């Protein structure tokens, strides 16, 4: 009995309640997280990396719901140029300077990060927008004091949190989107994320989510805009275009989805689909002895990186037994400049296969004359921008002499964007007879274009 009483009264460990156990568990997790945070700092600058930043920033917002928070993202335009022209050592010192500029603004509830390369971030509490702009001003001032022969243009994107539960990753995406709208523009150095940007982002996400199924189910449809002889109104050709018929949202305009597809590379898949539809359309008309006119197809600048680009076109012309001159290839001026050597080799090969080449948007680029002199172009499409200002005497002189020059170079000429009688009469007077524009026809489904040819 004495032994039993001794054991009952002698407590080696204190009794721990469930609440205390929970507290100790959370405390241990927090210490582990804090230790992990310290090990997740960028080597060069000592600021949190992305993973640590997102954890710490979310914690600050969650534990201080009474405060207003904003996330600022900063990027340096053409930072690669700094490394190339000034050296990697100078580039590293510039990044350290930026980190120090951010660190000088550190304070209670502020979280700083060096996401990667030349991209930095700051979560900060604030009361007025002017508080945020003052921080940006101070960072810019500090960077401007860094001695460097290159021009350094920092750009800032700002996302204001809607509430304390807003995901930090989403805030970073929004701030980055705002920053990209002004990156590299000397007249603007910051932008706030707004509702228009949010709608743009949602649309891009929806397009990316739907685009594969859209291609598989035939939602991308072939449209053709006729080309005409202005002297007699005869249809002399057409340009293949694409429209997206979404089963829920109706027709999505090319201005909405094509930039997204170019950004993510899916434009290559859509282009190949359109090309195939064009070859099939022309091939079927030839097979049944019907009237055919050349239908040009657009070549995205991204195709320069597609190793099967040439083979696809040659395969289609053989499969549908279409003479390649009936499917001219249109490429914008900027497209000729994308990886120029590779693109020129591809185009020259396609010329040997019988394809003709058309330079679209002529007059909007920087190396027009050089390309005219050196490249195997058969047709020039003068950009509609020339026609928009045709009432200006100087514009008329430029158009008239451009047409004369192209004719002397033995190139076919077609003018885009003809929208009224005055423009038509002036072009005929200049010796140009082929045009494309709303004055004649708008882009139409391929079925309607076929009806025009059968009249």
Task: With cut-offs at 50, 70 and 90, classify the pLDDT of residue 10.
Answer: very low
Q: For the ranges 7-11, 109-113, 339-343, 405-409, which has the lowest average pLDDT?
A: 7-11
Which residues contact residue 424 at a Cβ distance below 8 angstroms, ignoring those fewer than 6 apart?
230, 418, 435, 439
Domain segments of the chain as ranges: 30-197, 204-454
Q: 111, 60 in Cβ contact below 8 A?
A: yes
Q: Which SS3 state, helix, strand or coil, does residue 402 take? A: helix
Q: Which CATH superfamily is domain 30-197 in?
A: Reverse transcriptase/Diguanylate cyclase domain (3.30.70.270)
Per-residue pLDDT for 381 more than 50?
A: yes
Per-residue pLDDT for 363 more than 60?
A: yes
More confident residue, 127 or 149: 127
What string of DSSP letters covers 325-341? GGS-EEEEHHHHHTTHH
Per-residue pLDDT for 11 more than 60?
A: no
Q: For the ranges 192-206, 413-427, 440-454, which has the lowest average pLDDT?
A: 192-206
Q: What is the percent of the chain with per-residue pLDDT over 70, rounded to a whole number?
A: 86
Q: What is the pLDDT of residues 316-342, one digit of tens each?
A: 999 999 999 999 999 876 666 665 677
More confident residue, 102 or 334: 102
Rounded mean pLDDT, 61-73: 96
Nearest to 317 by CA among 273, 280, 347: 280
Q: Which helix (H) or strand (E) holds 235?
A: strand 235-246
Per-residue pLDDT for 441 more than 60?
A: yes
Q: Highest-confidence range of 86-100, 108-122, 137-151, 389-403, by mean pLDDT?
A: 108-122
Which CATH number is 204-454 given?
3.20.20.450
Per-residue pLDDT for 146 more than 60?
A: yes
Q: Output the pLDDT for position 334.
A: 65
Q: What is the pLDDT of residues 273-308, one digit of tens each?
A: 999 999 999 999 999 999 999 999 998 888 877 778
Q: For the ranges 26-35, 115-124, 170-179, 210-219, which has the lowest average pLDDT?
A: 26-35
Q: 111, 161 in Cβ contact below 8 A?
A: no
Q: What is the pLDDT of residues 216-268, one digit of tens each?
A: 999 999 999 999 999 999 999 999 999 999 999 898 889 999 999 988 899 99
Q: Tell me the C-alpha distance between 51 and 40, whole Å.
A: 8
Per-residue pLDDT for 361 more than 90?
A: no
Task: With cut-offs at 50, 70 and 90, classify the pLDDT of residue 185.
Answer: confident
Per-residue pLDDT for 443 more than 90?
A: yes
Q: For the ranges 127-141, 195-209, 314-328, which has the lowest average pLDDT?
A: 195-209
Q: 343, 335 in Cβ contact below 8 A?
A: yes
Per-residue pLDDT for 42 more than 80?
A: no
Which residues contact residue 338 at a Cβ distance below 8 angstroms, ignoring those fewer than 6 apart?
301, 302, 304
Per-residue pLDDT for 411 more than 70?
A: yes
Centre a 10 Å sphere on the Cβ of residue 46 and count the other Cβ atoms it contains: 13
Q: Output the pLDDT for position 6.
A: 34
| Burial readout 122-140 (b: 16 or more C-beta within 10 A, e: otherwise) | bbbbbeeeeebbebbeebb
Task: With cut-offs at 50, 70 and 90, classify the pLDDT of residue 25.
Answer: very low
Q: Which SS3 state, helix, strand or coil, does residue 29 take? A: helix
Per-residue pLDDT for 215 more than 50?
A: yes
Q: 77, 155 in Cβ contact below 8 A?
A: yes
Task: With cut-offs at 50, 70 and 90, classify the pLDDT of residue 348.
Answer: confident
φ, ψ for residue 193, nearest 5 deg: -65, 135
Per-residue pLDDT for 22 more than 90?
A: no
Q: For the ranges 32-41, 86-95, 312-321, which has the lowest average pLDDT?
A: 32-41
Per-residue pLDDT for 385 more than 60?
A: yes
Kindly report the average pLDDT of the chain as a whole number.
86
- Which DSSP category does 166 fall into? S
Q: Tell me the C-alpha distance between 330 and 379, whole Å.
A: 9
Q: 211, 261 in Cβ contact below 8 A?
A: yes
């Amino acid at each position: 009995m004495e032994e039993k009483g001794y054991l009952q009264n002698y407590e080696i460990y204190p009794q721990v309640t469930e609440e205390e156990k929970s507290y100790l568990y959370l405390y241990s997790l927090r210490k582990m997280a804090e230790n992990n945070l310290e090990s997740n700092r960028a080597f060069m600058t000592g600021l949190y990396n992305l993973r640590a930043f997102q954890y710490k920033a979310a914690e600050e917002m969650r534990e201080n719901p009474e405060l207003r928070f904003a996330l600022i993202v900063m990027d340096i335009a053409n930072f690669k140029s700094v490394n190339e022209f000034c050296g990697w050592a100078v580039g590293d010192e510039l990044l350290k300077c930026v980190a120090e500029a951010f660190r000088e603004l550190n304070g209670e509830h502020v979280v700083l990060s060096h996401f990667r390369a030349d991209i930095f971030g700051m979560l900060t509490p604030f009361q007025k927008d002017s508080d945020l702009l003052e921080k940006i001003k101070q960072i810019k001032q500090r960077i401007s004091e860094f001695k460097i022969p290159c021009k350094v243009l920092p750009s800032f994107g700002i996302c204001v949190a809607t509430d304390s539960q807003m995901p930090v990753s989403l805030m970073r995406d929004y701030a980055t989107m705002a920053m990209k709208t002004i990156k590299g523009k000397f007249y603007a150095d910051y932008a706030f994320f707004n509702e228009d940007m949010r709608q743009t982002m949602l649309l891009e996400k929806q397009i990316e989510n739907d685009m594969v199924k859209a291609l598989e189910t035939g939602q991308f449809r072939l449209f053709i805009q006729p080309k005409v002889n202005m002297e007699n109104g005869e249809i002399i050709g057409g340009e293949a275009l694409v429209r997206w018929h979404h089963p829920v949202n109706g027709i999505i305009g090319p201005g909405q989805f094509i930039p997204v597809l170019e950004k993510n590379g899916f434009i290559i898949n859509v282009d190949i689909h359109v090309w195939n539809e064009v070859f099939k359309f022309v091939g079927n008309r030839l097979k049944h002895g019907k009237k055919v006119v050349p239908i040009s197809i657009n070549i995205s600048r991204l195709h320069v990186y597609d190793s099967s680009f040439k083979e696809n076109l040659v395969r289609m012309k053989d499969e549908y037994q279409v003479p390649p001159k009936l499917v001219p290839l249109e490429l914008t001026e900027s497209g000729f400049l994308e990886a120029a050597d590779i693109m020129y080799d591809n185009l020259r090969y396609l010329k040997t296969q019988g394809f003709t080449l058309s330079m679209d948007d002529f007059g909007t680029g920087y190396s027009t004359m050089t390309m005219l002199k050196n490249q195997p172009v058969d047709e020039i499409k003068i950009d509609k921008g020339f026609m928009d200002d045709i009432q200006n005497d100087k514009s008329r002189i430029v158009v008239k002499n451009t047409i004369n020059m192209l004719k002397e170079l033995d190139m076919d000429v077609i003018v885009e964007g003809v929208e009224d009688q005055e423009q038509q009469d002036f072009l005929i007077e200049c010796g140009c007879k082929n045009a494309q524009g709303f004055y004649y026809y708008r882009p139409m489904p391929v079925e309607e274009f076929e009806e025009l040819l059968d009249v």
